[in-house]
Structure 1
Amino acid sequence: MFPELQKLSVRSLVVLSLVLGGVGLAVIDKNFRPKFGEIVSFGLGGYFGQLNPRQ
């Protein structure tokens, strides 16, 4: 039905939920937007770090 959904891994879904959750919380609580941005950037950095294999 949706062939592009078969390409998603569990790791991708976790990062997607982290980013969407961070954006949602940043919209709700404007005082802590920089902290939510740090959490999202930390999660994205870890995700991209796992994609790059060690040599």
Structure 2
Amino acid sequence: MSSKTLLTARLSEIFSAIQGEGLNVGSRQLFIRFALCDLRCHFCDSAHTWSVP
């Protein structure tokens, strides 16, 4: 990637929370939720991000 390459992405939200499971339990985590995902996974907890508001 050259130094002049600009990458962009549509974001739905950015938020922090305390990790509740796994090796990092109890530590603060930063979550970045991307918008316009086209995979439509049946287990997705963010279906509201599938389209533009």
Please tell me the TM-score bracket, short chain as reference: under 0.3
Give TM-score scaled by structure 1 length. 0.25
Structure with the higher helix share, 1 or 2: 1
Higher Cα Rg, which structure: 2
Please identify which structure carries the higher strand content: 2
